[in-house]
Amino acid sequence: MSVRVGIRHEDKYVMERRVAITPRHVEKLMQKEKLEFVVQSSPKRIFTDAEFKAAGARVENNLKDCPVIFGVKEIPLDTFEKGKTYVFFSHVIKGQPYNMPMLKKMMEMGCNLIDYERIADEQNKRLIFFGKFAGLAGMINSLWSMGQRLKELGMKDNPFVKLKQSHQYTSLEEAKRYIAEVGREIAERGLPAELQPFTIGFTGYGNVSLGAQEIANLLPSMEITPEELLKLKNEKNLANNVIYKVVFKEKHLSKRKDGSTFDLQDYYQHPEKYKNDFEQYIPHLTILMNCMYWDAKYPRIVTKDYMKKAFQASRPKLTVIGDVTCDPDGSIEFTHKGTEIEDPVFVYNPLSRKPTMGFKGEGILVMAVDILPSELPRDSSEGFADALFNFVGPIAKADYQAPYQEIALPNPIKKALILLQGKLTPDYNYIEQFLK
């Protein structure tokens, strides 16, 4: 007897149009794993109800007949059903207070929870992610934001003003063509003198950063080291048609408080021994792409106090921050919230310490869309489902009534099993302290 697998409609955000399993993957899984698929009807999903029907899935208004349900973002409390298995990005592993009521509800209902974020190999390398697409969309949005902000500041004919927000392109390929055209214009005509040298800094070197760099590489770019960045403004006869890229690693972001040599493993294990070392680079950047993982135990990289001092001196070179990391009050201290696709940017005034949504106002522009991959929904869903494909069958067919030690799941999935029969599994018992 085949197992029914549910694919839910995303309802956390108006513009959330992604899906974990696409029609193409549904059709292949029905053949390979002999699964049935029930897809919750959606008027906004990038893949239409008709596309799922054509692939062989049933389209219904609810998923009551499905013991296993795949989603993308968090699920409303009143949606959970007793004993069912849910697979989605739960955002509970840091004890996030805003999701503790959801986790409590799942525990009360005896649910099983598998979190994509925790699906990893033996080296703890994540296997299922949208990260690269967050970087791709984040860089597209940041270049578009740069064009609109410069226009607001009086530079109406800057080359970036022709670009659009990511979701306004029909595909990633179309967005790349437009950015490549801007790149050709910069190569042929150069940049306005007031923008030179034009520099883009990337924090982090994982999938998110690589996605952002892939877009930046469509411009006439040259990669330099952080040390070279500090000397760039003193260079004579710099070309006016080159954009300089800089990738920052942990050793560039923080330094030991006692002045001894930076050690990466020590930094991970004892972050309290470190302090910010990134401020020396900020005055030399035009755009900062924040693409790194961050936790509250690590030093912030851009603080409110630093930006206040910078603006009291003069208008800084740094014009746009693409905060792809998007931790509210996090590594970029004045990212007060993740923004929505419909209202993606704000200008933070360091003197008043207040943000204003949109492109107007005195200060620094921040693009901090919380669901960036959904701006490239078809491309990102296809890539995500490719990575998830081989795990769908084992997840759907597992016996979740078995004890944790005996449950037959692939190791990467078992590592991601946060709840079993409504109880925290051994690796996640620490979350109990956040549920009180």
Contact 24, 51 (CB under 8 A): no
**Least confident residue range of 182-186, 233-237, 271-275, 363-367:** 233-237
Torsion of CA 261, 264, 266, 271, to 10 degrees: 100
pLDDT at 345 > cutoff 80 = yes
DSSP 364: E
pLDDT of 75: 96
Tokens of 26: 């549904």
The C-alpha atoms of residue 271 and residue 257 are separated, in whole angstroms, by 10
Mean pLDDT, the chain, integer: 96
Contact 421, 112 (CB under 8 A): yes
Nearest to 229 by CA among 200, 249, 256: 200
The C-alpha atoms of residue 71 and residue 91 are separated, in whole angstroms, by 13
pLDDT in tens, 305-330: 999 999 998 889 999 999 999 988 99
pLDDT of 53: 98
Range 233-267 burial, b when 16+ CB lie within 10 A, else e: eeeeeeeebbbbbbbbebebbbbbeeeeebeeeeb
- Strand, coil or helix: 53: helix
Tokens of 278: 């990134």
pLDDT in tens, 146-163: 999 999 999 998 999 999
* Beta bridge mates, 199: 244
pLDDT of 1: 58
Contact 378, 46 (CB under 8 A): yes
- Strand, coil or helix: 293: coil
How far is C-alpha 45 from the geometric centre of its chain's CA atoms? 19
The C-alpha atoms of residue 72 and residue 367 are separated, in whole angstroms, by 22
* Mean pLDDT (whole number) for 363-378: 95
For residue 108, give the H/E element and its range: helix 100-108
Contact 359, 343 (CB under 8 A): no
> Which residues, at least 6 apart from 360, have a Cβ–Cβ distance to it below 8 Å?
152, 347
CB atoms within 10 A of CB 310: 19
pLDDT in tens, 159-211: 999 999 999 999 999 999 999 999 999 999 999 999 999 999 999 999 999 99
Which is it for the CA torsion 310, 139, 230, 150, positive or negative?
Answer: negative
What structural domains and CATH numbers belong to the chain? 4-129+379-434 (3.40.50.720), 131-375 (3.40.50.720)
**Least confident residue range of 77-86, 121-130, 200-209:** 121-130
The arrangement of strands across the sheet holding 36-40 comes to 58-60, 36-40, 4-7, 68-70, 85-88, 112-115, 417-420, 423-424
The C-alpha atoms of residue 8 and residue 3 are separated, in whole angstroms, by 16
Contacts of residues 326-332 at CB distance under 8 Å and 24 or more positions apart, as own/partner, are 326/368, 326/369, 326/370, 326/372, 327/294, 330/294, 330/296, 330/300, 331/203, 331/290, 331/292, 331/294, 331/298, 331/300, 331/301, 331/302, 332/290, 332/300, 332/301, 332/302, 332/366, 332/368
pLDDT of 402: 96
> Which residues, at least 6 apart from 178, have a Cβ–Cβ distance to it below 8 Å?
162, 163, 164, 169
Percent of the chain with pLDDT over 70: 100
Which pLDDT band holds residue 296 (cuts at 50, 70, 90)? confident
Q: Where are the beta strands (DSSP E) in 106-192?
A: 112-115
Backbone angles phi, psi at 157, to 5 degrees: -105, 25
C-alpha Rg value of the chain to the nearest Å: 23
pLDDT of 234: 86
pTM: predicted TM-score of the whole model, two decimal places: 0.88
For residue 229, give the H/E element and its range: helix 226-232
CB atoms within 10 A of CB 147: 22
Percent of the chain with pLDDT over 90: 93
* Mean pLDDT (whole number) for 49-70: 97
